[in-house]
Each structure stands twice: as C-alpha cells, then as structure tokens.
Homo-oligomer: A and B are copies of this chain.
Amino acid sequence: MTYQELSEQIAQKQSYLCVGLDTDLKKLPHHLLTEPDPVFAFNRAIIDATADLAVAYKPNIAFYEAQGPRGWESLQKTLDYIPANCFTIADAKRGDIGNTSGLYARAFFDPAAAGLHFDSITVAPYMGHDSVTPFLDYEGKWVILLALTSNPGSADFQRQSLGEQELFEAVIETANSWAGPDRIMFVVGATQAAELGRIRQLAPKNFLLVPGVGAQGGSLEDVSRYGLTTDGGLLVNASRSILYASGGTDFARRARAEAVSLQQEMARHLQAIR
C-alpha cells in the first residue's frame, strides 16, 4: 500500500486505528478452544468485527512464534484473511547484518519464501543502515523503525544525549537520509506524547506508529494533537483494550464497541485539523 493509498483510507474511514493482533492463547474465550485453530478463529472474528473501523492490523510476531510452527500457520491464515484495503504490519522488531536482514525481509515480504506478504515490518535501529536497507530493497514495502518506544526502558538508551540531540532524534534524522516518508515510518510510544512536537519537526511527513494508548496509559487526544498531519500521519495501535474487552462469547461485539469508540474520537480529531 502506498503513502497516498494509506492516506486515502484514513480519510475514507475517518480512522487511523491499527488493531494489534497480540493474540494470546491463554486469554482466548473458552468456547474457541475447541476450534481447529483457536488463534485464527479469534483473529478472524476480531477482523470481521473491526475491518470497517481499522486502517491497519499489526500482529505482534512474538505471540505466534511462542506457539512454534503451528503459530506460524495461524499467522499465515490471519494475514491472508485481512482485507486488501487494510495496511499490514509485521511487528517483529528484527534487524541484523545486511545479508541476514535480507533473509528477514524475504521471510516477511516475499510470499514465495515463507508465504508471508506483509506491507511493512518493525525494525530495531541499533545495528545501523545496512541492517535496515535490505528491507527497503523490496519495492513498495515499508520499514517502521523503532524511535522512542512506550516502555520504561526507553529511558536507558533512546533518551541518552548525544550533545545536540538525543539518540532517538539521531535515529529519526539519520533514517530519513536512507529513504523518504513513503517508505519509512517511526514507532513513537503514546506515553511519549510530550516529545511528539520535536519528532514532528524532524519527521514532518512520516507516518508514526503509536502503540501505548489504552492498557499502557497513553492519551489518544495528546497523541492526535501533536501527531496528526493533513495526510493523516498517524497509525494509533490498540491491542489488549480491543482484543480482550470481554472474555466471553460476546468478545467480538465488545471488541467492536471499543473500536467504534476509538474511531469516533479519531474522526473528531481528523475533522479538527482539516
């Protein structure tokens, strides 16, 4: 999906909601456990309940990897089920030396390899340019680079001062020399809304993937005020608050209600910046 197409989806759905498919077998409603593939059965119901409200889906790969080979089968079926008008994110936080990053790119981008065909992947920046650019060699695919994450440990290194700027700012500035905003997004935690103004100056056009609204305590209003652009410019992720809104047979209906509530607030913020 191109920058323009993603922007149009946001305008059309009046939403910049990304649903995080962090599907934990231990948290599934009990009635699904008799399904042949409970994780996929759950994801399918969540996608059915939210596809008109979400512009993106983001499976966190750890949840699938922890199930072994059958987890990768569930991931494949889930990815294949996501409608074509939704942007797909492999939240994998990969990154290695050049030839090895090339293999991770093949794993997530090239359906002829492992079967997967994500639009984008999250990548850790620590190893620098040649750990990131192999992902950009896949035309039309996106890198979503960790910049300022939502967790407490973000203070350990990302907030360290390099003199004029902090490490996360150097990451954004440097990465923007590798490719344009049509190929690179940045991860900025919703708990870091105070820094979004500075980030927007360094990355005026880039989409920002913002986790941490909901369970992690970030504010959608703050994130939207500082992060929205006339192109949209935000993908705000919610996972647990939608997936586990109910642990009963009404889980999909309750998930939709949560998604509707987020989408309606997003529509207000989008109208405010027009």
A residues engaging B (CB < 8 A)? 22, 60, 62-63, 65-73, 76, 93-98, 100-101, 103-104, 106-107, 113-116, 124-132, 146, 149-158, 160-163, 167, 170-171, 174
Contact = CB atoms under 8 A, between A and B. Distances in A.
Contacts of A115: 68
Contact of A126 (B125, B152, B174): B125
A67 B198 CA distance: 41
Given A66-B107, A130-B153, A152-B130, A100 B158 contact: no
Contact of A104 (B66, B107, B162): B66
B167 A97 contact: no
A101 to B, nearest CB: 8
A236 to B, nearest CB: 16
Contact of A161 (B114, B156, B163): B163
26 contacts: A60-B96, A62-B103, A62-B104, A65-B114, A66-B107, A67-B113, A68-B76, A68-B116, A69-B114, A97-B149, A97-B151, A98-B151, A124-B127, A125-B157, A127-B146, A127-B151, A128-B152, A128-B153, A128-B155, A128-B156, A128-B158, A129-B153, A131-B153, A157-B171, A161-B163, A167-B167
